[in-house]
Amino acid sequence: MSEERDTVQCPCGRLIDNPDDYKVLYLKRELQEIDILCPNDSCYLRELGYIKFDVKGEKAKFREASFYPPFVTWNSGRVGSDSAERLLKDHLKRIASKIDWQRLSRPRAGTS
């Protein structure tokens, strides 16, 4: 079975085979950053990566996304760096495509 090679794992042990499993945190609108969190609530890493975006006028626009080194290194060790890079890039793309950009574009209440 090659399923194992298509699965990403957090160093806490949680397998992530579907990018929908990640939790995304929209808290850092001011910093123009979205946190990507491990689906495991008791994960010791918690933050696995981030998505950065620009706000031009009222519109939020994707800038860059990345996973943090501990998560990348862990997966490179499991499936090899080429596979890990391909898998993680694919996950980032799918996470970014699910971001509610409309919601980020909306001005906060109280501003303006």
Instruction: Note the residues at the interface with Zn ion (CB under 5 A).
Output: 10, 12, 14, 38, 40, 43
Residue with smaller CB distance to Zn ion, 45 or 55? 45
Residue with smaller CB distance to Zn ion, 45 or 99? 45
Min dist. Cβ of residue 48 to Zn ion (A): 7
- Nearest CA to 70 among 7, 10, 6? 10
Residue with smaller CB distance to Zn ion, 40 or 66? 40
Query: Is residue 45 within 8 Å of residue 75, measured between CB atoms?
Result: no
Query: Is residue 35 within 8 Å of residue 81, measured between CB atoms?
Result: no
Min dist. Cβ of residue 75 to Zn ion (A): 12
Residue with smaller CB distance to Zn ion, 10 or 51? 10
Sheet of strand 33-37, all strands in order from the earlier edge strand to the far edge: 23-28, 33-37, 47-56, 59-67
- Nearest CA to 105 among 42, 32, 35, 39? 32
Min dist. Cβ of residue 34 to Zn ion (A): 18
CA distance 86 to 102: 28
Min dist. Cβ of residue 57 to Zn ion (A): 37
